[in-house]
């Protein structure tokens, strides 16, 4: 029983990360119908902003050498500014083009950011140590929970609460929800397209900065491809949750994270290398039963 509870905690912690990434993807898709694969590189850039560009395997600290509050602010700010710049330069001029063009633009932005990281930091993984104290377990009601897992779940819960309040209690949040449900109708009702899209990208940047910090604390390494798999999983999460649905993106993130951890824990040892294939197989089965996703928006119902 104790092992099951520990696995469940790990699963919820990973699901929390995927839920946040899926929410960032879902927000941008809702207002632009764009799957922004550059979200993976927002995470990577946020992680690499912790260190000074150097060829050393253990680089000097940049933002990572600041006090915690200032470090978090600087990392999140840098990723948010990056997200806003990419929206303004790479996506806004192409907004009225074919969706395929926007998708290709997101891949171009992704490869451009990867090339920048390689140019300044090199292509080899680097080790970095922040939040070492969080690796120690915390005793909660007799159950030893990893500090990193507890931090991840707490941060994810707080961010989700703040986002829910923002989306439901503020004027711009309501406009953003309306745009995510049906962007054309929202524009007809007077929603400012440029402002809403910029806010969606800003939120995706804020989430990307926070998630990059959580990943670095967990892994202690920097790699130019560190954001790819979380973004791929999050993309699947938005699809099974109901693409265009923000609650669906969060639900899908938790489902994918929990499936991933439970398969890793309970598959026979010789089958564990095929965990990802197992997760994607289950995702396909879910879509065969409910191809429109678990939570369907009004706009999606009209398309169906």
Closest by alpha carbon to 18, among 222, 206, 236?
A: 236
Closest by alpha carbon to 164, among 247, 84, 74, 86?
A: 247
pLDDT at 303: 40
Closest by alpha carbon to 43, among 225, 280, 195?
A: 225
pLDDT at 141: 65
Q: How do strand 221-222 and strand 137-140 relate by DSSP bridges?
A: unpaired
What residues are paired with 140 via a beta bridge?
A: 143
Mean pLDDT for the stretch of residues 18-33 = 88
Mean pLDDT for the chain overall: 84
pLDDT at 45: 93
pLDDT at 80: 96
pLDDT at 300 over 70: no
CA–CA gap between residue 5 and residue 129 (Å, rounded): 28
More confident residue, 254 or 220: 254
Tens of pLDDT, residue by residue over 170-202, are 888 888 877 777 777 777 777 888 888 899 999
Strand spans (E) along the chain:
126-127, 137-140, 143-146, 221-222
Report whether 145 contacts 138 (CB < 8 A). Answer: yes
Tens of pLDDT, residue by residue over 32-72, are 888 898 999 999 999 998 887 766 666 666 666 778 888 89
The enclosing H or E element of 90 equals none
Three-state SS at 35: coil
Q: How do strand 143-146 and strand 137-140 relate by DSSP bridges?
A: antiparallel
Residue 298: pLDDT band (50, 70, 90) is low
pLDDT at 55: 60
More confident residue, 65 or 252: 252
Mean pLDDT for the stretch of residues 241-248 = 82
pLDDT at 84: 95
pLDDT at 304 over 50: no
Q: To which residue do tokens 């995510």 refer? A: 180
Sign of CA dihedral 262, 245, 242, 210: negative
pLDDT at 57: 60
Determine what percent of the chain is predicted with pLDDT higher than 70.
88
Tens of pLDDT, residue by residue over 99-155, are 888 889 999 999 999 999 998 888 888 888 776 666 676 776 666 667 788 888 889
DSSP symbol at 285: H
Determine what percent of the chain is predicted with pLDDT higher than 90.
26
Integer CA distances (angstroms), 125 to 63, 210, 247, in order = 18, 20, 35
More confident residue, 6 or 58: 6
Burial of 173 per CB tally in 10 Å (0-12, 13-18, 19+): middle
Report whether 38 contacts 177 (CB < 8 A). Answer: no
């Amino acid at each position: 029983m104790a092992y099951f509870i520990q696995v469940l905690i790990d699963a919820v912690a990973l699901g929390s990360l995927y839920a946040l990434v899926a929410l960032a993807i879902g927000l941008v898709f809702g207002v632009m119908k764009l799957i922004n694969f550059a979200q993976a590189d927002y995470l990577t850039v946020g992680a690499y902003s912790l260190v000074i560009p150097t060829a050393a395997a253990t680089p000097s600290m940049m933002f990572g050498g600041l006090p915690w509050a200032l470090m978090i602010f600087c990392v999140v700010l840098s990723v948010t500014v990056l997200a806003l710049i990419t929206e303004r330069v790479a996506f806004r001029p192409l907004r009225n083009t074919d969706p395929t063009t926007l998708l290709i633009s997101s891949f171009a932005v992704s490869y451009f950011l990867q090339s920048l990281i390689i140019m300044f930091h090199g292509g080899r993984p680097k080790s970095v140590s922040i939040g070492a104290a969080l690796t120690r377990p915390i005793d909660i009601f007799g159950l030893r929970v990893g500090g990193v897992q507890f931090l991840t779940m707490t941060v994810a819960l707080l961010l989700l609460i703040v986002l829910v309040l923002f989306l439901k209690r503020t004027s711009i949040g309501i406009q953003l929800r309306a745009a995510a449900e049906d962007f054309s109708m929202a524009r007809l009702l007077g929603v400012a397209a440029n402002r809403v899209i910029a806010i969606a990208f800003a939120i995706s940047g804020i989430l990307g900065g926070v998630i990059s910090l959580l990943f670095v604390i967990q892994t202690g390494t920097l790699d130019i491809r560190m954001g790819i798999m979380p973004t791929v999983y999050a993309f699947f999460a938005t699809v099974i949750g109901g693409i265009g649905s923000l609650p669906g993106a969060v639900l899908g993130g938790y489902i994918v994270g929990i499936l991933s951890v439970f398969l890793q824990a309970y598959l026979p040892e010789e089958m564990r290398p095929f965990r990802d294939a197992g997760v994607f197989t289950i995702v396909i089965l879910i879509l065969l039963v409910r191809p429109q996703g678990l939570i369907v928006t009004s706009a999606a119902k009209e398309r169906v």
